[in-house]
Structure 1
Amino acid sequence: MKIATYNVNGVNGRLAVLLRWLAEARPDVVCLQELKAPDEKFPEAAIADAGYEAIWHGQKSWNGVAILSRIGMPVETRRGLPGGEDDTHSRYIEAAVNGVLIAGLYLPNGNPRPGPKFDYKIGWFERLIAHAADLIATKMPVIIAGDFNVMPTERDIYKPERWIDDALFAPEVREAFFRLTDQGWTDALRTMHPDETIYTFWDYFRNAYGRNAGLRLDHLLLSPAIADRLVTAQVDRHVRGWEKTSDHAPVWIELAD
Protein backbone atom coordinates (compact mmCIF):
# COMPACT_ATOMS: atom_id res chain seq x y z
CA MET A 1 0.00 0.00 0.00
CA LYS A 2 1.55 3.27 -1.16
CA ILE A 3 0.35 6.42 0.62
CA ALA A 4 1.47 9.92 -0.34
CA THR A 5 1.10 13.53 0.66
CA TYR A 6 1.45 16.42 -1.78
CA ASN A 7 0.96 20.15 -1.34
CA VAL A 8 -0.10 20.97 -4.90
CA ASN A 9 -0.17 24.77 -4.39
CA GLY A 10 -3.32 25.16 -6.48
CA VAL A 11 -5.07 22.02 -7.70
CA ASN A 12 -6.49 23.56 -10.87
CA GLY A 13 -3.51 25.68 -11.87
CA ARG A 14 -1.20 22.68 -11.47
CA LEU A 15 -3.63 19.94 -12.48
CA ALA A 16 -1.42 18.79 -15.37
CA VAL A 17 1.49 18.31 -12.96
CA LEU A 18 -0.68 16.41 -10.48
CA LEU A 19 -2.07 14.09 -13.17
CA ARG A 20 1.39 13.47 -14.60
CA TRP A 21 2.70 12.51 -11.18
CA LEU A 22 -0.31 10.28 -10.41
CA ALA A 23 0.24 8.41 -13.67
CA GLU A 24 3.95 8.03 -12.97
CA ALA A 25 3.92 7.19 -9.26
CA ARG A 26 0.59 5.34 -8.97
CA PRO A 27 0.07 5.92 -5.25
CA ASP A 28 -2.86 4.08 -3.72
CA VAL A 29 -3.89 6.98 -1.49
CA VAL A 30 -2.92 10.67 -1.69
CA CYS A 31 -3.50 13.53 0.72
CA LEU A 32 -3.50 16.89 -1.07
CA GLN A 33 -3.06 20.32 0.46
CA GLU A 34 -3.49 23.91 -0.70
CA LEU A 35 -6.24 23.17 -3.19
CA LYS A 36 -6.97 26.91 -3.36
CA ALA A 37 -10.39 26.14 -4.81
CA PRO A 38 -13.95 26.08 -3.45
CA ASP A 39 -15.71 22.73 -3.30
CA GLU A 40 -17.54 23.22 -6.60
CA LYS A 41 -14.27 23.92 -8.45
CA PHE A 42 -12.49 20.72 -7.39
CA PRO A 43 -11.51 18.82 -10.60
CA GLU A 44 -13.43 15.68 -9.70
CA ALA A 45 -13.87 14.49 -13.29
CA ALA A 46 -10.17 14.74 -14.17
CA ILE A 47 -9.23 12.96 -10.94
CA ALA A 48 -11.76 10.22 -11.69
CA ASP A 49 -10.39 9.82 -15.23
CA ALA A 50 -6.98 9.24 -13.62
CA GLY A 51 -8.49 6.34 -11.66
CA TYR A 52 -9.08 8.00 -8.29
CA GLU A 53 -12.12 8.55 -6.12
CA ALA A 54 -11.92 11.58 -3.86
CA ILE A 55 -13.31 13.55 -0.97
CA TRP A 56 -12.32 17.16 -0.45
CA HIS A 57 -12.75 20.17 1.81
CA GLY A 58 -12.23 23.26 -0.33
CA GLN A 59 -11.95 26.99 0.19
CA LYS A 60 -11.83 29.85 -2.30
CA SER A 61 -8.28 31.10 -2.99
CA TRP A 62 -6.74 29.56 0.13
CA ASN A 63 -6.12 26.31 1.99
CA GLY A 64 -8.15 23.23 1.04
CA VAL A 65 -7.41 19.53 1.59
CA ALA A 66 -8.41 16.31 -0.18
CA ILE A 67 -7.94 12.55 0.01
CA LEU A 68 -7.71 10.56 -3.24
CA SER A 69 -7.86 6.77 -3.46
CA ARG A 70 -7.63 4.19 -6.23
CA ILE A 71 -8.33 1.28 -3.85
CA GLY A 72 -11.86 2.17 -2.81
CA MET A 73 -13.85 5.28 -2.03
CA PRO A 74 -12.56 7.15 1.04
CA VAL A 75 -15.23 6.97 3.73
CA GLU A 76 -15.17 10.38 5.38
CA THR A 77 -15.05 10.32 9.19
CA ARG A 78 -14.29 13.97 9.93
CA ARG A 79 -13.71 17.37 8.33
CA GLY A 80 -12.20 19.99 10.59
CA LEU A 81 -10.59 19.36 13.95
CA PRO A 82 -12.68 19.12 17.13
CA GLY A 83 -12.97 22.41 18.97
CA GLY A 84 -12.90 24.49 15.83
CA GLU A 85 -16.55 25.38 15.46
CA ASP A 86 -15.65 29.00 14.59
CA ASP A 87 -12.68 28.06 12.39
CA THR A 88 -13.43 28.92 8.75
CA HIS A 89 -10.19 27.47 7.33
CA SER A 90 -10.35 24.20 5.36
CA ARG A 91 -7.31 22.43 6.81
CA TYR A 92 -8.27 18.94 7.99
CA ILE A 93 -10.04 15.94 6.49
CA GLU A 94 -10.15 12.33 7.67
CA ALA A 95 -11.35 9.11 6.06
CA ALA A 96 -11.15 5.34 6.27
CA VAL A 97 -9.51 3.74 3.24
CA ASN A 98 -8.99 -0.01 2.92
CA GLY A 99 -8.78 -0.57 6.67
CA VAL A 100 -6.55 2.42 7.44
CA LEU A 101 -7.67 5.75 8.88
CA ILE A 102 -6.09 8.56 6.86
CA ALA A 103 -5.92 12.09 8.30
CA GLY A 104 -4.90 14.78 5.83
CA LEU A 105 -3.90 18.20 7.13
CA TYR A 106 -2.54 21.58 6.17
CA LEU A 107 -1.21 23.17 9.35
CA PRO A 108 -1.17 27.00 9.46
CA ASN A 109 1.99 28.85 8.44
CA GLY A 110 1.85 31.21 11.43
CA ASN A 111 3.86 34.15 10.12
CA PRO A 112 4.42 36.84 11.16
CA ARG A 113 5.55 35.85 14.63
CA PRO A 114 4.50 37.12 17.10
CA GLY A 115 0.96 38.02 16.13
CA PRO A 116 -2.55 36.64 15.65
CA LYS A 117 -1.52 34.30 12.82
CA PHE A 118 1.08 32.70 15.06
CA ASP A 119 -1.42 32.42 17.90
CA TYR A 120 -3.84 30.70 15.50
CA LYS A 121 -1.11 28.25 14.49
CA ILE A 122 -0.35 27.32 18.10
CA GLY A 123 -4.05 26.94 18.92
CA TRP A 124 -4.59 24.76 15.85
CA PHE A 125 -1.60 22.62 16.80
CA GLU A 126 -3.01 22.12 20.31
CA ARG A 127 -6.30 20.91 18.85
CA LEU A 128 -4.40 18.54 16.58
CA ILE A 129 -2.43 17.13 19.52
CA ALA A 130 -5.63 16.52 21.47
CA HIS A 131 -7.35 14.80 18.53
CA ALA A 132 -4.25 12.76 17.70
CA ALA A 133 -4.25 11.43 21.27
CA ASP A 134 -7.81 10.23 20.75
CA LEU A 135 -6.77 8.54 17.48
CA ILE A 136 -3.87 6.76 19.20
CA ALA A 137 -6.24 5.58 21.93
CA THR A 138 -8.39 3.76 19.37
CA LYS A 139 -5.42 1.43 18.64
CA MET A 140 -6.42 1.59 14.98
CA PRO A 141 -3.96 1.84 12.08
CA VAL A 142 -3.82 5.60 11.52
CA ILE A 143 -1.69 7.83 9.30
CA ILE A 144 -1.55 11.61 9.71
CA ALA A 145 -0.16 13.10 6.50
CA GLY A 146 0.28 16.58 5.15
CA ASP A 147 2.08 19.89 5.15
CA PHE A 148 2.79 20.55 8.84
CA ASN A 149 4.62 23.85 8.21
CA VAL A 150 7.21 22.71 10.76
CA MET A 151 10.88 21.87 10.41
CA PRO A 152 11.39 19.69 13.50
CA THR A 153 15.20 19.83 13.69
CA GLU A 154 18.16 21.67 12.22
CA ARG A 155 18.71 18.71 9.90
CA ASP A 156 15.39 19.57 8.25
CA ILE A 157 16.43 23.01 7.07
CA TYR A 158 19.03 24.63 4.88
CA LYS A 159 20.98 27.20 6.92
CA PRO A 160 18.84 27.03 10.08
CA GLU A 161 20.41 30.19 11.51
CA ARG A 162 18.37 32.17 8.96
CA TRP A 163 15.08 30.82 10.32
CA ILE A 164 15.44 31.50 14.04
CA ASP A 165 12.56 33.99 14.15
CA ASP A 166 10.30 32.26 11.63
CA ALA A 167 7.02 30.59 12.68
CA LEU A 168 8.02 27.40 10.83
CA PHE A 169 11.06 26.94 13.09
CA ALA A 170 9.88 28.60 16.30
CA PRO A 171 10.74 26.76 19.53
CA GLU A 172 7.04 26.60 20.49
CA VAL A 173 6.14 24.97 17.17
CA ARG A 174 8.95 22.44 17.24
CA GLU A 175 8.07 21.59 20.84
CA ALA A 176 4.45 21.03 19.80
CA PHE A 177 5.57 18.70 17.00
CA PHE A 178 7.57 16.58 19.43
CA ARG A 179 4.72 16.53 21.95
CA LEU A 180 2.65 15.11 19.10
CA THR A 181 5.16 12.45 18.07
CA ASP A 182 5.84 11.56 21.71
CA GLN A 183 2.30 10.17 21.86
CA GLY A 184 3.69 7.25 19.88
CA TRP A 185 3.63 8.48 16.28
CA THR A 186 6.44 7.39 13.94
CA ASP A 187 7.91 10.10 11.67
CA ALA A 188 8.19 7.85 8.61
CA LEU A 189 10.58 9.87 6.47
CA ARG A 190 13.06 10.54 9.27
CA THR A 191 12.82 6.96 10.51
CA MET A 192 13.87 5.65 7.10
CA HIS A 193 16.48 8.39 6.56
CA PRO A 194 17.82 9.09 10.07
CA ASP A 195 20.99 10.97 9.12
CA GLU A 196 20.19 12.16 5.61
CA THR A 197 19.72 15.70 4.37
CA ILE A 198 16.26 15.33 2.90
CA TYR A 199 13.85 18.12 1.98
CA THR A 200 10.27 18.32 0.69
CA PHE A 201 10.02 22.05 -0.18
CA TRP A 202 12.14 24.46 -2.17
CA ASP A 203 11.21 28.13 -2.59
CA TYR A 204 10.69 29.55 -6.07
CA PHE A 205 13.24 32.29 -5.39
CA ARG A 206 17.06 32.41 -5.57
CA ASN A 207 17.33 29.06 -7.39
CA ALA A 208 16.52 27.25 -4.14
CA TYR A 209 15.79 23.97 -5.92
CA GLY A 210 18.94 24.09 -7.99
CA ARG A 211 21.04 24.80 -4.88
CA ASN A 212 19.10 22.25 -2.81
CA ALA A 213 18.31 25.00 -0.30
CA GLY A 214 15.23 23.29 1.03
CA LEU A 215 13.02 22.56 4.02
CA ARG A 216 11.36 19.38 5.32
CA LEU A 217 7.78 20.53 5.90
CA ASP A 218 5.73 17.55 4.73
CA HIS A 219 5.41 14.60 7.09
CA LEU A 220 3.69 11.23 7.39
CA LEU A 221 3.13 10.07 10.97
CA LEU A 222 2.21 6.45 11.66
CA SER A 223 0.34 5.16 14.71
CA PRO A 224 1.79 2.21 16.64
CA ALA A 225 -0.78 -0.12 15.09
CA ILE A 226 0.69 0.39 11.61
CA ALA A 227 4.28 1.55 12.15
CA ASP A 228 5.75 -1.95 11.91
CA ARG A 229 4.36 -2.22 8.37
CA LEU A 230 6.59 0.63 7.12
CA VAL A 231 8.80 -0.57 4.26
CA THR A 232 10.15 2.67 2.82
CA ALA A 233 9.60 6.43 2.75
CA GLN A 234 10.74 8.66 -0.11
CA VAL A 235 10.47 12.12 -1.65
CA ASP A 236 9.75 12.41 -5.38
CA ARG A 237 12.23 15.28 -5.56
CA HIS A 238 12.35 15.35 -9.36
CA VAL A 239 8.72 16.50 -9.53
CA ARG A 240 9.81 19.85 -8.05
CA GLY A 241 11.91 20.32 -11.20
CA TRP A 242 8.98 20.01 -13.61
CA GLU A 243 7.60 23.03 -15.44
CA LYS A 244 4.85 24.97 -13.62
CA THR A 245 5.17 22.69 -10.61
CA SER A 246 4.42 23.21 -6.92
CA ASP A 247 7.14 24.43 -4.57
CA HIS A 248 6.60 21.17 -2.65
CA ALA A 249 7.49 17.68 -3.83
CA PRO A 250 5.32 14.61 -3.22
CA VAL A 251 6.32 12.47 -0.22
CA TRP A 252 5.24 8.83 0.04
CA ILE A 253 5.53 5.70 2.10
CA GLU A 254 5.07 2.05 1.28
CA LEU A 255 3.41 -0.28 3.76
CA ALA A 256 3.59 -4.06 3.81
CA ASP A 257 0.25 -5.81 3.42
Structure 2
Amino acid sequence: MSLSIATWNVNSARQRAGHIAAFLDRVRPDLLLLQEIKCEAKAFPAEAFAQAGYGAEIVGQKAYNGVAVLSRVPVRVTERALPGLDPALAEQARYIEVETRGVRVGNLYLPNGNSGGEAGYEGKLAWMGALADHAQRLLDEDVDLVLAGDYNVCPEDVDFAPRTLPAGDALIRDQTRAAFRRLIWLGLTDALRAVQPGGPAYTFWDYQAGCWPQDRGLRIDHALLSPRLAERLESVRIERDERAAEQPSDHVPVVVTLGDQPQ
Protein backbone atom coordinates (compact mmCIF):
# COMPACT_ATOMS: atom_id res chain seq x y z
CA MET A 1 0.00 0.00 0.00
CA SER A 2 1.30 3.47 -0.87
CA LEU A 3 2.09 6.06 1.78
CA SER A 4 2.37 9.85 1.53
CA ILE A 5 4.22 11.74 4.25
CA ALA A 6 4.50 15.52 4.49
CA THR A 7 6.79 17.40 6.86
CA TRP A 8 6.34 21.07 7.79
CA ASN A 9 7.82 23.39 10.37
CA VAL A 10 4.77 25.59 10.86
CA ASN A 11 6.27 28.09 13.34
CA SER A 12 3.16 28.03 15.59
CA ALA A 13 0.32 25.58 15.01
CA ARG A 14 -2.25 27.93 16.51
CA GLN A 15 -1.24 30.88 14.37
CA ARG A 16 -1.05 28.70 11.26
CA ALA A 17 -4.08 26.45 11.94
CA GLY A 18 -5.94 27.78 8.89
CA HIS A 19 -2.92 27.21 6.65
CA ILE A 20 -2.54 23.65 7.95
CA ALA A 21 -6.23 22.82 7.49
CA ALA A 22 -6.20 24.17 3.93
CA PHE A 23 -3.08 22.13 3.15
CA LEU A 24 -4.70 18.96 4.48
CA ASP A 25 -7.80 19.55 2.36
CA ARG A 26 -5.75 20.22 -0.76
CA VAL A 27 -2.94 17.64 -0.51
CA ARG A 28 -4.46 14.91 1.70
CA PRO A 29 -1.22 13.31 2.89
CA ASP A 30 -1.54 10.15 4.94
CA LEU A 31 0.69 11.74 7.58
CA LEU A 32 1.60 15.37 8.21
CA LEU A 33 4.59 15.81 10.51
CA LEU A 34 4.58 19.22 12.17
CA GLN A 35 7.48 20.88 13.94
CA GLU A 36 7.75 24.00 16.09
CA ILE A 37 4.09 23.88 17.05
CA LYS A 38 4.92 26.18 20.02
CA CYS A 39 2.20 24.98 22.36
CA GLU A 40 1.36 22.31 24.89
CA ALA A 41 -0.84 19.43 23.81
CA LYS A 42 -3.91 20.88 25.57
CA ALA A 43 -3.60 24.08 23.49
CA PHE A 44 -3.04 22.35 20.15
CA PRO A 45 -5.88 23.09 17.65
CA ALA A 46 -6.66 19.41 17.05
CA GLU A 47 -10.35 20.00 16.41
CA ALA A 48 -9.60 22.10 13.32
CA PHE A 49 -7.84 19.11 11.79
CA ALA A 50 -10.30 16.49 13.03
CA GLN A 51 -12.87 18.14 10.78
CA ALA A 52 -10.61 17.24 7.85
CA GLY A 53 -10.44 13.63 9.02
CA TYR A 54 -7.09 13.75 10.82
CA GLY A 55 -6.20 12.54 14.27
CA ALA A 56 -3.37 14.15 16.22
CA GLU A 57 -0.51 12.81 18.33
CA ILE A 58 1.29 15.65 20.08
CA VAL A 59 4.46 16.22 22.08
CA GLY A 60 4.12 19.85 23.09
CA GLN A 61 5.94 22.48 25.09
CA LYS A 62 4.71 25.91 26.14
CA ALA A 63 5.77 28.62 23.67
CA TYR A 64 8.73 26.69 22.24
CA ASN A 65 9.60 23.64 20.15
CA GLY A 66 6.88 20.97 19.94
CA VAL A 67 6.11 18.29 17.37
CA ALA A 68 2.91 16.61 16.23
CA VAL A 69 1.75 13.96 13.79
CA LEU A 70 -1.56 14.44 12.00
CA SER A 71 -2.82 11.22 10.43
CA ARG A 72 -5.73 9.98 8.39
CA VAL A 73 -4.52 6.39 8.76
CA PRO A 74 -4.19 4.42 12.00
CA VAL A 75 -0.89 5.01 13.83
CA ARG A 76 0.77 3.62 16.92
CA VAL A 77 3.08 5.91 18.88
CA THR A 78 6.43 4.19 19.51
CA GLU A 79 8.43 7.08 21.03
CA ARG A 80 7.58 10.46 22.54
CA ALA A 81 11.21 11.53 22.95
CA LEU A 82 14.43 10.61 21.21
CA PRO A 83 16.04 7.72 23.11
CA GLY A 84 19.55 8.16 24.47
CA LEU A 85 19.49 11.90 25.12
CA ASP A 86 20.85 13.66 28.16
CA PRO A 87 17.86 14.61 30.41
CA ALA A 88 18.34 18.33 29.79
CA LEU A 89 17.98 17.76 26.05
CA ALA A 90 15.29 15.09 26.38
CA GLU A 91 12.92 17.50 28.17
CA GLN A 92 12.71 19.61 25.02
CA ALA A 93 9.73 18.59 22.84
CA ARG A 94 11.59 17.71 19.66
CA TYR A 95 10.73 14.13 18.68
CA ILE A 96 7.77 11.82 18.19
CA GLU A 97 7.76 8.50 16.38
CA VAL A 98 4.82 6.50 15.04
CA GLU A 99 4.27 3.27 13.16
CA THR A 100 1.79 2.83 10.33
CA ARG A 101 1.46 0.29 7.53
CA GLY A 102 4.63 -1.42 8.67
CA VAL A 103 6.69 1.80 8.48
CA ARG A 104 8.28 3.58 11.44
CA VAL A 105 8.15 7.37 11.00
CA GLY A 106 10.24 9.67 13.18
CA ASN A 107 9.24 13.33 13.26
CA LEU A 108 12.12 15.51 14.45
CA TYR A 109 12.93 19.13 15.19
CA LEU A 110 16.69 19.22 15.57
CA PRO A 111 18.28 22.03 17.61
CA ASN A 112 19.53 24.99 15.60
CA GLY A 113 22.80 25.15 17.52
CA ASN A 114 23.48 28.88 17.08
CA SER A 115 22.28 29.92 20.54
CA GLY A 116 23.87 29.13 23.86
CA GLY A 117 27.44 29.41 22.68
CA GLU A 118 29.57 26.29 22.33
CA ALA A 119 27.44 24.46 24.88
CA GLY A 120 24.41 25.01 22.66
CA TYR A 121 26.30 23.71 19.67
CA GLU A 122 27.51 20.66 21.57
CA GLY A 123 23.86 19.99 22.39
CA LYS A 124 23.05 19.98 18.68
CA LEU A 125 25.82 17.45 18.01
CA ALA A 126 24.70 15.30 20.94
CA TRP A 127 21.16 15.29 19.55
CA MET A 128 22.43 14.25 16.12
CA GLY A 129 24.53 11.51 17.69
CA ALA A 130 21.55 10.12 19.58
CA LEU A 131 19.49 10.23 16.38
CA ALA A 132 22.14 8.23 14.51
CA ASP A 133 22.38 5.70 17.35
CA HIS A 134 18.59 5.27 17.37
CA ALA A 135 18.49 4.90 13.59
CA GLN A 136 21.24 2.28 13.75
CA ARG A 137 19.27 0.25 16.29
CA LEU A 138 16.15 0.32 14.13
CA LEU A 139 18.07 -0.59 11.00
CA ASP A 140 19.73 -3.46 12.86
CA GLU A 141 16.20 -4.66 13.69
CA ASP A 142 15.33 -4.49 9.96
CA VAL A 143 12.72 -1.77 10.52
CA ASP A 144 11.47 0.22 7.52
CA LEU A 145 12.23 3.77 8.62
CA VAL A 146 11.57 7.39 7.69
CA LEU A 147 13.27 10.18 9.65
CA ALA A 148 11.76 13.47 8.54
CA GLY A 149 11.51 17.01 9.80
CA ASP A 150 13.49 20.18 10.38
CA TYR A 151 17.11 19.07 10.67
CA ASN A 152 18.57 22.58 10.79
CA VAL A 153 21.36 21.30 8.53
CA CYS A 154 22.40 22.39 5.04
CA PRO A 155 24.24 19.23 3.94
CA GLU A 156 26.08 20.87 1.01
CA ASP A 157 26.89 24.39 -0.15
CA VAL A 158 24.20 24.13 -2.83
CA ASP A 159 21.65 23.86 -0.01
CA PHE A 160 21.89 27.53 0.94
CA ALA A 161 21.81 30.63 -1.23
CA PRO A 162 24.98 32.73 -1.37
CA ARG A 163 25.36 35.18 1.53
CA THR A 164 22.45 33.77 3.53
CA LEU A 165 24.62 32.19 6.24
CA PRO A 166 27.84 33.45 7.81
CA ALA A 167 30.92 31.26 7.86
CA GLY A 168 30.84 29.13 10.98
CA ASP A 169 27.05 29.04 11.23
CA ALA A 170 25.89 25.93 13.10
CA LEU A 171 23.85 24.78 10.10
CA ILE A 172 26.95 24.41 7.92
CA ARG A 173 29.85 23.74 10.28
CA ASP A 174 32.04 20.77 9.37
CA GLN A 175 30.97 18.80 12.44
CA THR A 176 27.30 19.38 11.61
CA ARG A 177 27.71 18.09 8.10
CA ALA A 178 29.76 15.14 9.31
CA ALA A 179 26.97 14.21 11.72
CA PHE A 180 24.45 14.36 8.87
CA ARG A 181 26.72 12.23 6.67
CA ARG A 182 26.83 9.66 9.46
CA LEU A 183 23.09 9.17 8.97
CA ILE A 184 23.58 8.72 5.23
CA TRP A 185 26.44 6.27 5.78
CA LEU A 186 24.13 4.11 7.90
CA GLY A 187 22.33 3.41 4.64
CA LEU A 188 19.66 6.12 4.71
CA THR A 189 18.72 7.95 1.51
CA ASP A 190 18.11 11.72 1.28
CA ALA A 191 14.75 11.52 -0.53
CA LEU A 192 14.98 14.90 -2.27
CA ARG A 193 18.48 14.25 -3.59
CA ALA A 194 17.40 10.83 -4.84
CA VAL A 195 15.01 12.52 -7.28
CA GLN A 196 16.89 15.82 -7.76
CA PRO A 197 20.59 15.07 -7.44
CA GLY A 198 21.77 18.66 -7.93
CA GLY A 199 20.74 22.28 -7.85
CA PRO A 200 19.00 24.49 -5.27
CA ALA A 201 15.80 23.19 -3.68
CA TYR A 202 15.03 25.45 -0.75
CA THR A 203 12.53 24.72 2.03
CA PHE A 204 13.09 27.81 4.24
CA TRP A 205 13.27 31.55 3.58
CA ASP A 206 13.96 33.94 6.46
CA TYR A 207 11.42 36.68 7.16
CA GLN A 208 14.22 39.28 7.07
CA ALA A 209 16.34 40.94 4.36
CA GLY A 210 14.02 40.19 1.45
CA CYS A 211 14.97 36.51 1.45
CA TRP A 212 11.68 35.27 -0.03
CA PRO A 213 11.32 37.75 -2.93
CA GLN A 214 15.02 37.32 -3.73
CA ASP A 215 14.83 33.51 -3.40
CA ARG A 216 17.63 33.47 -0.82
CA GLY A 217 16.68 30.27 0.91
CA LEU A 218 17.99 27.20 2.69
CA ARG A 219 17.28 23.48 2.41
CA ILE A 220 17.05 22.34 6.01
CA ASP A 221 13.90 20.16 5.98
CA HIS A 222 14.77 16.60 5.01
CA ALA A 223 13.32 13.10 4.77
CA LEU A 224 15.73 10.19 5.10
CA LEU A 225 14.59 6.72 4.02
CA SER A 226 15.82 3.26 4.91
CA PRO A 227 16.83 1.04 1.96
CA ARG A 228 13.55 -0.76 1.20
CA LEU A 229 11.61 2.50 1.44
CA ALA A 230 14.11 4.23 -0.85
CA GLU A 231 13.25 1.61 -3.46
CA ARG A 232 9.58 2.57 -3.11
CA LEU A 233 10.20 6.32 -3.49
CA GLU A 234 7.97 7.78 -6.21
CA SER A 235 8.21 11.54 -5.72
CA VAL A 236 9.31 14.41 -3.51
CA ARG A 237 7.56 17.76 -3.83
CA ILE A 238 8.43 21.06 -2.16
CA GLU A 239 5.27 23.14 -1.70
CA ARG A 240 6.90 26.52 -2.41
CA ASP A 241 3.61 28.37 -2.82
CA GLU A 242 2.94 28.10 0.91
CA ARG A 243 5.69 30.67 1.52
CA ALA A 244 3.73 33.22 -0.54
CA ALA A 245 0.61 32.89 1.63
CA GLU A 246 -0.51 35.64 3.97
CA GLN A 247 1.33 35.38 7.31
CA PRO A 248 3.16 32.20 6.28
CA SER A 249 5.60 30.04 8.15
CA ASP A 250 9.19 30.63 7.11
CA HIS A 251 9.32 26.93 6.10
CA VAL A 252 7.24 25.14 3.47
CA PRO A 253 5.98 21.55 3.39
CA VAL A 254 7.94 18.74 1.77
CA VAL A 255 5.76 15.87 0.53
CA VAL A 256 7.24 12.39 0.04
CA THR A 257 5.25 9.68 -1.74
CA LEU A 258 6.13 6.02 -1.37
CA GLY A 259 4.68 3.49 -3.79
CA ASP A 260 3.03 0.18 -2.96
CA GLN A 261 4.99 -2.32 -0.96
CA PRO A 262 6.37 -5.07 -3.24
CA GLN A 263 4.59 -8.42 -2.91
Q: What residue in structure 2 maps to residue 55 of structure 1?
A: 57
Q: Percent identity?
A: 42
Q: Within the alignment, does 1:91 sit opposite 2:97 as a pair? A: no
| SS of equivalent to 2:213 | helix
Of 255, 258, 262, 1:255 maps to 258
Superposed CA offset, 1:76-128 (max 9, x none): 00111112261210001101112211100000000147422111111111111
Is the 8 Å Cα contact of residues 111 and 118 (structure 1) preserved in structure 2? yes
Is the 8 Å Cα contact of residues 164 and 217 (structure 2) preserved in structure 1? no
The whole-number CA distance in structure 1 between the counterparts of 2:138 and 2:159 is: 26
Is the 8 Å Cα contact of residues 32 and 65 (structure 1) preserved in structure 2? yes
| SS of equivalent to 2:38 | coil
Q: What residue in structure 2 maps to residue 240 of structure 1?
A: 243
User: Relative to structure 1, is the Cα distance of residues 16 and 191 closer, same or farther in structure 2, using a 3 angstrom cutoff?
Assistant: same
Q: What residue in structure 2 maps to residue 173 of structure 1?
A: 176
The whole-number CA distance in structure 1 between the counterparts of 2:157 and 2:163 is: 6
Q: What residue in structure 2 maps to residue 104 of structure 1?
A: 107
Is the 8 Å Cα contact of residues 118 and 167 (structure 1) preserved in structure 2? yes
Q: Which runs of 5+ in 1 are unaligned?
A: none
Of 69, 75, 79, 1:67 maps to 69
Q: What residue in structure 1 maps to residue 152 of structure 2?
A: 149
Q: What residue in structure 1 maps to residue 32 of structure 2?
A: 30
Q: How does 1:195-234 map to 2 (within 5 A)?
A: 195-234=198-237
Q: Which amino acid aligns with 2:92?
A: H
Q: Which amino acid aligns with 1:135?
A: L
Is the 8 Å Cα contact of residues 85 and 126 (structure 2) preserved in structure 1? no
Q: Which amino acid aligns with 1:247?
A: D
Q: What residue in structure 1 maps to residue 186 of structure 2?
A: 183
Q: Which runs of 5+ in 2 are unaligned?
A: none
Deviation, 1:205, is: 1.0
Is the 8 Å Cα contact of residues 139 and 224 (structure 1) preserved in structure 2? no
The whole-number CA distance in structure 2 between the counterparts of 1:125 and 1:82 is: 12
| SS of equivalent to 1:47 | helix
Deviation, 1:163, is: 2.9
Q: Which amino acid aligns with 1:31?
A: L
The whole-number CA distance in structure 2 between the counterparts of 1:161 and 1:104 is: 26
Is the 8 Å Cα contact of residues 10 and 34 (structure 1) preserved in structure 2? yes
Is the 8 Å Cα contact of residues 113 and 167 (structure 1) preserved in structure 2? no
The whole-number CA distance in structure 2 between the counterparts of 1:199 and 1:161 is: 12
The whole-number CA distance in structure 2 between the counterparts of 1:22 and 1:129 is: 31
The whole-number CA distance in structure 2 between the counterparts of 1:202 and 1:165 is: 19
The whole-number CA distance in structure 2 between the counterparts of 1:112 and 1:95 is: 30
Is the 8 Å Cα contact of residues 5 and 257 (structure 2) preserved in structure 1? yes
Q: Which amino acid aligns with 2:40?
A: P
Q: TM-score, with normalisation over the residues of structure 2?
A: 0.94
The whole-number CA distance in structure 1 between the counterparts of 2:98 and 2:236 is: 21
- The number of residues matched between the two structures is 256
The whole-number CA distance in structure 2 between the counterparts of 1:200 and 1:233 is: 12
